[in-house]
Amino acid sequence: MNKLMSNYIFTVLYQLLLMLTPFITTPYVSRILKPEGIGIDAYVLSIVQLFIVFTVLSLPMYGSRQIAVQKDQNDLSKEFWSIFSFQACVAVLNFIAYFIFIGAFSTHKILFLIHITTLLAYSLDISWYFIGKEQMKKIAIRNMIIKVAGIILTFILIKNYSDLPFYVAINGGTLLVGQLIMWRPLLNEVKFVKISLSDFKAHVKPILILFLPQLMIQVYVLVNRIVLGNVSGEVEVGYYNQANKVVKIAIGVISSLGTVLLPRMAAEFAKGNQEQLKRYTDTTLQFVLMITLPMTLGLMAISPNFVIWFLGKDFLDVSLDLIIMSPVIFFVGLANVFGVQILVATNQQNKYSVAITVGAILSLITNLLLVSSMGSLATTIALVVAESIGALIQMYYARSYFHFKTFLQLFMKYFLLSMLVFLAAWFVGKTITITPVLLTLLQLLAGGIVYGLGLLLVKDPLVYKLLGTFSQKYLVKIRERRS
């Protein structure tokens, strides 16, 4: 459990650092590039990400799961090279398609050419190996160095609207450098071994099966955004994209849990440890409910004031998008437990695919019906539809791994406490007049204090367990120093 906690902390850092550049630079970049520049960047990137989807496929989940169950060094090396060979072949085909697209596409061609670095970065991504080995520290340190460099370059080089190409180049270039850095420690662990065609072919079917839900995810994440741009214009895409960036920062903390536990759950499943699987599920489900519900309701409360200083007055319309999009945090948390940690880890990819596909189809229908009259709000609602329907179907399929009555009890407890968080943050926002930045900090402080006291008053067992673990470690360190 100590290694899981350590890996979770490092993976949270990894996810947060992945979001660090847009989080720190967004207030600055939003004011420099304006809604038009932000919208063009989001629109171009949404198309590029369609190609990225076909490069990445389902390798992060599949690769980490396969690496996690390998014990012999020779088998581990063969598994890695056979999976990466498939990844490389797909990347080559994808680049050919991308160059054909650039030749045929006349708008924003320079930006699409710069994004070749982004595609190359994803083609060389081998982070799934380190996730499978539960070596999260290496990934976190890499991202810390690269993202800080990206932040510095952004503030130095991006000075006006015409610097949009440089902004795209910084994001793609730093991502590529980060991927190249990871190859050195990998080559120290993995041997060069000969792989056969059968080794290669063994991965094709399971990767493609897992790829279907990943493709469906992109339907409502990317295709809906492209539909929004074509129907309502690039400014509406900019509004939606900025709201989505804020929500993704919170989601990074949640998805870290799935990243950490997927290889561990896969290993336990391979050993036939069903009871251990259920214990992990109970703990992680409680943890997800405990952090996603206050995040969701807290973000709803601070959104109007938060948007003013974080994005600037040009993005005031984002506030409503952000309020409506906030429940995505909760539903993504559930999907990480029921979908990634249970269905994928226990080789139930077909059920996972069904859940994602149904959610994606309903999302696309919702967006097409509403986008002409509601703009970015329609795409926001479509995102909530996709995540909620997908999570609920995954919950149904994973019902044998948790107790539904216990889930409802935990949900009601944390939801009521989270309502107090909402009321505290909302009250502070309505009654105190200070600068927007300080007001947001005060809202967060008020909500955090109320939630912390509430958890202590109800004697939440998970909180007391975590406090006990940390206090025990602290006492051990004090004894070691005295001796």
pLDDT value, residue 262: 60
pLDDT value, residue 89: 92
Q: Does 171 fall in a domain?
A: yes
Domain of residue 63 covers 1-202
Contact in structure between 309 and 27 (CB atoms under 8 Å):
yes
Average pLDDT across each block of 10 residues of the chain; the chain has 483 residues. List them in order. 60 62 72 83 85 82 79 83 92 94 85 94 89 75 78 88 90 89 87 86 83 72 77 78 80 67 64 74 85 93 87 79 93 89 82 89 90 87 92 93 89 96 94 89 94 92 74 59 60
pLDDT value, residue 97: 94
Q: Does 281 fall in a domain?
A: no
pLDDT value, residue 23: 60
Q: Does 226 fall in a domain?
A: no
Q: Does 273 fall in a domain?
A: no
* Longest Cα separation, the chain: 72
Q: Does 156 fall in a domain?
A: yes
Distance CA 182, CA 133 (A): 14
Scored b (16 or more CB within 10 A) or e, 461-476 reads eeeeeeeeeeeeeeee
Region of 375 please: left (phi>0), alpha (psi -120 to 50) or beta.
Answer: left
Distance CA 330, CA 147 (A): 27
Q: Give the position of tokens 């970015």.
A: 376
Q: Could you report how far apart the first and last alpha carbons of the chain are, in Å?
A: 27
pLDDT value, residue 258: 56
**Half-sphere CA count of 352, side-chain side, radius 13 A:** 27
Domain count, the chain: 1
Closest Cα partner for 403 from 293, 291, 279?
279
Instruction: Say what the pTM is.
Output: 0.73
| Cα distances (angstroms) measured from residue 163 to each of 158, 171, 211, 232 | 6, 13, 36, 25
Q: What are phi and psi of 35, to 5 degrees?
A: -55, -35
Contact in structure between 248 and 18 (CB atoms under 8 Å):
no
Q: Does 64 fall in a domain?
A: yes
pLDDT value, residue 412: 95
Distance CA 143, CA 128 (A): 15
